[in-house]
Amino acid sequence: MDKIRFVFFGSSKFSEYVLDELKKTGYEPVLNVTSAKAPLPEIPADTDLCIVASFGKILPKTYLDIPRLGFINVHPSLLPKYRGPSPIQAQLLDIVCQGVGVTIIKMDEKMDHGPILAQEKINIEPFPDHYAIVEEKLARAGGKLLIKVLETKPGETPQDHSTATYVKMVKKEDGLLDLNDDPEKNLRKVLAYSTRPGAYIFFRKKNGEEIRVVVRNAKIIENQFIPTRVIPAGKKEMDWQDFLRGNA
């Protein structure tokens, strides 16, 4: 049987991993749309389906209605939890997170709102971990689940919208650490924002100059948050203790 003709929309590393899983089993898009900033392209004739994985643009209903089988989306959370643009960061930050996973939905005009086609809880150990590691694990699991959807054509299950939670766009200032804050909260910020925007502190050097220091890694020792690897402004990554010896 011929493979389904699909257009793929994705503008992040998450998207690349999902598409890589599809290609491993012979699924090649007729068009790969990688820029969310450019105007939406014309969907090729005879396209059966469009697949979205971390694209970063709300698509109008008139566009969603073009392909014969509509649009489906690979979302890295157990919907309806963590709807929105930063679900992986939000799950890493959430101390009471009840589990991570991926969901495949039929898209409608509302954000992460459409009926569920498939959902799978993913066991990631250790958790939390650095964003890039969790991103790849969820994306590859999402790609494999997507293949099952394409091959089994499951029915649709409406989301329970009354239990939906929402996450916001991550801003640069979200990465600022308060060293007097809860150690677990600070560690999770380091992990969640390790790819972007980066967790950081402002450090006053012994000469009185205040500089921005990105915290690349950290640990908790005796309920204390301890940076281990940092990038001082204008410098290369270094050990925290080496940084202190030269600046504290």
User: 111 vs 19, 191, 227, CA distance in Å?
Assistant: 21, 26, 37
Give the span between the Cα atoms of 153 and 239, in whole angstroms: 51
User: 216 vs 82, 127, 230, 232, CA distance in Å?
Assistant: 25, 17, 5, 10
CB atoms within 10 A of CB 201: 17
User: What DSSP designation does 179 have?
Assistant: T
Provide the CATH topology of domain 172-247: Methionyl-tRNA Fmet Formyltransferase; Chain A, domain 2 (3.10.25)
Q: Residues 127-134: what's their mean pLDDT?
A: 97
Provide the pLDDT for residue 248.
76
Give the span between the Cα atoms of 75 and 138, in whole angstroms: 9
CATH 3.40.630.10 describes domain 6-163: no
- pLDDT tens for 16-69 read 999 999 999 999 999 999 999 999 999 999 999 999 999 999 999 999 999 999
**In contact, 32 and 12? CB cutoff 8 Å:** no
Provide the pLDDT for residue 1.
43
- pLDDT tens for 137-181 read 999 999 999 999 999 999 999 999 999 999 999 999 999 999 999
User: 90 vs 21, 86, 150, 190, CA distance in Å?
Assistant: 25, 6, 28, 12
Provide the pLDDT for residue 57.
92
Domain with CATH 3.40.50.170 in the chain: 6-163
Give the span between the Cα atoms of 1 and 122, in whole angstroms: 31
Residues for the chain: how many in total? 248
Among residues of the chain, what percentage have pLDDT more than 90?
Answer: 96
Provide the pLDDT for residue 239.
98
Provide the pLDDT for residue 98.
85
pLDDT higher than 90, residue 199 = yes
Is the Cα torsion angle 83, 79, 124, 18 positive or negative in sign? Answer: negative
Domain with CATH 3.10.25.10 in the chain: 172-247
